[in-house]
Amino acid sequence: MPVKTTILIAEDTTVNRKVLVKLLSAEYALVEAENGQEALDLLRKYGNSISAVILDLIMPVLDGFGFLKAIQKMDAYKNLPLIVAADNMGDQSAVEALKLGAWDFITKPYNGDIIRFRLKNAIERSQFSAFNQLKFLAEYDTLTGIYNKTKFFQMTRKMLDANPGTLFAFLRLNIDQFQLINSFFGSEEGDKLLCFLADSFRAAYSSDTYTYGRMEADVFAACFAYSTKDAVLLHLEHAKERIKSYNRSFNIVPVFGVYFLDDLSLGVNEMLDRAELAAKTCKGQYLSTTAIYQPQLRQRLEEEQEIVNEMSDALEQKQFCIYLQPKYALFTNRPAGGEALVRWHHPQKGMISPDEFIPIFERNGFISKLDYFVWESVCFLLHQWLQHGMSPSPISVNVSRVNLYDPNLVDIITDLIQKYAVPPHLLQLEMTENAYMGNPQMMEQVVNQLHKAGFTVLIDDFGSGYSSLSVLKNVDVDALKIDIRFFEKTRVSGRGENIIASIVRMAKWLNLSVIAEGVETQEQVDFLRSAGCDYVQGFYFARPMPVDDYVNLVRETNSAAQTAVEAGRYAGLNPDRLWSLEPEMLLLFSDDPSPKAICGFNGDELELLRVNLAFKDLLGFAADTSPLDFIAPEHHESVLAACCSCAETQEREECEYRRVTAHGKQLWIRLTLQYIQQVGTKYILMAHMENITALKLMETNYLDALSHSPTLRRFDLSRPFTLSNIRELLAFLTQIFDVARLVDPVNTSVVSLPNEGGLAYKPYTCFNVWGKGTRCENCSSICALRNDCRMTKYEYIKNNIFYVVSNPVTVEDNLGKCHKFALELVSHISDHLMITPPNGKTIEQMIEETQKKIYTDALTGAYNRRYLSELMFSHHAQKCVAKRLGLVLLDLSRFKQINDRYGHETGDSLLVATAKKLRETVRQSDSVIRYGGDEFVVILTECSEAQVIDAVERMRKALGSIPYCGEGTSLVQADFGYAYTDRFDTTYATVQELLRIADAAMYREKHFHKATTQG
């Protein structure tokens, strides 16, 4: 017996339900509901077994319109036929029902034949739609709507067979590090990017000689006819720029592999393989992200396979060996350990570069065995050195990401040091920062276990990945390794040096050592020493070398003179030797690149006894020069006090002072004083100088610094600027601030000054500098123009803090017409916090504290109104905002009377208690905001409208438990209004609209309560 199709009848009138049951029961199985809410519950219960719904519009609890609205939000029922039953339905109601998804109408009284025909037609339409949907799923990618891999292969084969004499190109596209976009911005944003790429393929060509599809993940492919190869490559360059401009904050790097078809009979899968082979050559090549398939790529693949075929035998036959590259301590210029690096001595090919085999081993997992070989070789070396009575410095080894995921890693390394009786501190372990991205929790656990076992852990290539601060915050490492070559590739002059200096300072606050690798020049060494870097590694000092050469180097440099300088410092030196040419003194002065001087101090006077060449280069020198001549008068007292303290305590002392050179250049010096000895009534002190000017400038308020600038003093900001003057001023300010520009805030435009004269408006809006989608609601530039005065504010965007100065200026164009603009100066002060956190606080703590001050209501501890208008919805521009959002607006009833009767102290305590109860009632991911006075806003994210209504009732109940008078009999009451949207991610205007709707609803409730009370 065939199973009947099930129909859901939602009708509140019993007679009408019975009529429908009588008419339809012979052909259909029927489920009955008395109202819209019951119908929804039954629909959820029976799910896809319901084939159609007959719906009365006028019902209690939830009417037909409410049912249609609820169904409209459920994707699972978008093909479910909804037939509306009504009598005397007006046009307006009919249109509204159709808008909400109604399929058809039936009228009362019911006609059995009409109802059965309309049900049958609707169900058949639904089944046909379901069939088409299944066909779509079989041939198209469900996310992007373009061909899937199977359909793309079919259509491409068909196109090639139909056009045998045509030139075709095969293209493969993927996004480098696409998984990081998903990790940092969320999978929803990653999906939006994939849809954008699909739309780009749709818009590229419109031809019967063009196919495209999504292969998997972020991989797309296309095959198209072309005229010339140059035209194809030019088209790809334009496409690359369009893709990069999708969202600058994503740092999108599209990679194209191109295969120009020379054999149309090849399988489409092989064409894709060749394009993929070309694309692989771009990996890590950020300046070259388009590659064309060449026959030699196949040869390279064969060479890689040859390496794979020989790797196991090479390990077994001991063709691999370790080289050691020394790490030099900058304080002593002596080796203080080394890093073990692997080399492959092939019996026929000679030395094979690690760059050729390490990437292959990392891909196929053989790196795990090679790592173990290096670890054991180093343990064996350390054991031998200890057996021969040597005192070796630590040797570091690399731990690949593959081994990091090995649950037995700690046991494996611990077993090795126990086998060779090596103290764990001598075997240091280097892990790359990028390994943290793969599995942060795993890395945190492994590092903690290694620390418990006594090992030292270093983070290699720190700053080159996307998670530097997360690593520092969550992983308890001991040292950072930075490759200074990475920071040299900056477009802004000096930015790399500032970043390195900031990292060094930050590491000092966290008690971490810093090792700079890739050091190749004296200038780099000087800079790193002045920045406070501990160790360096690079070709300037030594290349990687065989073990015996490393041992000899350490033995030769470990001379008695150097040991005396490092171990004894300057204590106990015979004063007569200070002027000698003994090795210790030569090391201290002529051979030392850092500025040093020996001074005599008698309590209130300083004299220079001896200086080195670096001192003369930095500060100059003359025979009759007094040390105080090198110091600004306002710092004389602090320098003499430091000298006095050093002489009395015989302990190291530090201070900082400013000096203006004869050429007007301002220098900041950090002075470190070390006691040597007393000679008669004079104390002999060693003075070490560090040039900290660059760092100090970042600690100094920009505006204060500018006020002393001769360039800026030439301009009067209150008078009109000519085009040449404003251009000169902007050029000067651009050297100092991160952003210096003219803006027209009323029209949200950036004003440019072309060299040929005149004014021009750039084709992007002024708020794009923040990555926002709309103008700041507290725009300082608008306020500056409106009030004709300088305005300042802080912007907190994407975990970065900016200080913004807006100054009104008038610019006169070539025709004599005056224009009012805002001169906008922006300083990224997160870097400033990174350099000078007060009281030893971490960067994260500083940013969190600054954010709290800006966006927290001082009385209640809830968020303030600025948070609502500025920070919370700035996340909208960062593409991480919730899609479903409820906004609840409430104010306390009779709050003014409470203040008047019981006093403002009671009113304040009531507000504090209200904020506390609201926070306790909602989820941690929701936001409680004091909107003003006794009004509060609660933002509920990723929730249904029913959950918002439930939350309102919970908040109402929670606030109703708060007493506000001494007897405890008076309880808080509040009026509520809410608004809800499931499309919050599509438009910023929704914020103001939600507030308007919630406000109107709240006042309706307020008036209702007032009318009820009066009645």
Q: What is the pLDDT of residues 741-753, one digit of tens each?
A: 888 887 778 888 8
- Residue 734 pLDDT: 77
The percentage of residues in the chain with a pLDDT greater than 70, rounded to a whole number, is 79
The more confident residue out of 89 and 143 is 143
Stretch (H or E) spanning 264: none
| Distance in angstroms (rounded) separating the CA atoms of residues 769 and 771 | 6
Q: What is the pLDDT of residues 331-365, one digit of tens each?
A: 667 888 999 999 999 998 888 888 888 888 887 78
Sheet holding 606-611, edge to edge: 606-611, 596-601, 682-691, 666-679, 653-660
- Residue 774 pLDDT: 64
- Residue 97 pLDDT: 83
Which residue is listed with tokens 């709707």? 997
Q: At what angle do helices 229-244 and 187-204 cross, to 10 degrees?
A: 150
**Helix ranges restricted to H, 89-246:** 91-99, 112-139, 149-162, 178-185, 187-204, 229-244
Q: Are 326 and 547 in contact (CB under 8 A)?
A: no
| Distance in angstroms (rounded) separating the CA atoms of residues 727 and 725 | 5
- Residue 937 pLDDT: 94
Q: Is 112 in a helix, a strand, or coil?
A: helix
Enumerate residues 6+ apart whose C-beta is below 8 A from 128: none
Kindly list the distances between the CA atom of residue 504 and the CA atoms of 99, 657, 755, in Å, as whole numbers in the listed order.
Answer: 62, 21, 41
The more confident residue out of 858 and 388 is 388
CA angle 929, 934, 935 (to 5 degrees): 45
Mean pLDDT of the residues in the chain: 80
Q: What is the pLDDT of residues 121-138, one digit of tens each?
A: 888 887 766 666 666 667
Q: Is 711 in a helix, a strand, or coil?
A: helix
Q: For residue 174, is pLDDT > 80?
A: yes
Joined together, the tokens standing for residue 203 give: 């818009």
Q: What is the pLDDT of residues 501-554, one digit of tens each?
A: 778 877 777 778 889 998 888 888 878 876 778 889 999 899 999 999 999 888
The more confident residue out of 473 and 815 is 815
Least reliable range by pLDDT among 15-19, 234-238, 587-591, 608-612? 587-591
Q: For residue 738, is pLDDT > 90?
A: no
| Distance in angstroms (rounded) separating the CA atoms of residues 131 and 125 | 10
- Residue 611 pLDDT: 76
Q: Torsion-angle region of residue 971: left (phi > 0), alpha (psi -120 to 50) or beta?
A: beta
- Residue 590 pLDDT: 52
- Highest-pLDDT range among 379-388, 628-637, 767-776: 379-388
Q: Are 533 and 504 in contact (CB under 8 A)?
A: yes
- How far separated are the first and last CA of the chain, in Å rounded? 64
Question: Which CB contacts under 8 angstroms, 24+ apart, belong to 61-66?
Answer: 61/35, 61/36, 61/37, 62/35, 62/36, 62/37, 63/35, 63/36, 64/10, 64/36, 64/97, 65/96, 65/97, 65/100, 66/36
Least reliable range by pLDDT among 276-280, 534-538, 652-656? 652-656
CA angle 772, 778, 782 (to 5 degrees): 100
Q: For residue 464, is pLDDT > 60?
A: yes
- Residue 994 pLDDT: 85
pLDDT confidence band for 952 (50 / 70 / 90): very high
Q: What is the mean pLDDT of residues 573-577?
A: 43
Q: What is the pLDDT of residues 822-861, one digit of tens each?
A: 888 887 665 444 444 444 444 445 555 656 666 788 788 8
Closest C-alpha to 943, from 954, 934, 932: 954
Q: What is the mean pLDDT of residues 152-158?
A: 94
Closest C-alpha to 341, from 478, 464, 460: 460
Q: Are strands 513-517 and 800-812 parallel, antiparallel or unpaired?
A: unpaired
- Residue 669 pLDDT: 85
Q: What is the pLDDT of residues 316-329, one digit of tens each?
A: 999 999 999 999 98
Q: At what angle do helices 440-452 and 409-419 cross, to 10 degrees?
A: 30
Kindly list the distances between the CA atom of residue 490 and the CA atoms of 487, 493, 519, in Å, as whole numbers in the listed order.
Answer: 6, 7, 17
- Residue 232 pLDDT: 94
Residue 785: CA count within 13 A, CB half-sphere: 17
In sequence order, the β-bridge partners of residue 800 are: 797
Q: What is the pLDDT of residues 62-108, one digit of tens each?
A: 998 999 898 888 877 778 888 888 777 777 777 888 888 888 888 88
Q: For residue 411, is pLDDT > 60?
A: yes
Each residue of 441-470: b (16+ CB within 10 Å) or e? ebbeebbeebeeeebbbbbbbbbebebbee
Residue 349: CA count within 13 A, CB half-sphere: 14
Q: Are 456 and 479 in contact (CB under 8 A)?
A: yes
- Residue 635 pLDDT: 86
The H helix count followed by the E strand count for the chain is 38, 34
Q: For residue 578, is pLDDT > 50?
A: no
Closest C-alpha to 602, from 571, 633, 627, 634: 627
Enumerate residues 6+ apart whose C-beta is below 8 A from 483: 461, 464, 516, 517, 518
Whole-prediction pTM: 0.40
Question: Which CB contacts under 8 angstroms, 24+ apart, belong to 342-345?
Answer: 342/370, 342/373, 342/374, 343/544, 344/314, 344/319, 344/320, 345/319, 345/320, 345/321
The full DSSP string for 81-102 is -EEEEESS--HHHHHHHHHTT-
Residue 943 — φ and ψ, nearest 5°? -140, 165
pLDDT confidence band for 953 (50 / 70 / 90): very high
| Distance in angstroms (rounded) separating the CA atoms of residues 833 and 842 | 9
Kindly list the distances between the CA atom of residue 922 and the CA atoms of 187, 926, 945, 952, in Å, as whole numbers in the listed order.
Answer: 26, 6, 15, 10
- Residue 715 pLDDT: 65
Closest C-alpha to 333, from 101, 594, 512, 158: 594
Q: Are 255 and 173 in contact (CB under 8 A)?
A: yes
Enumerate residues 6+ apart whose C-beta is below 8 A from 545: 323, 324, 325, 553
- Residue 513 pLDDT: 83
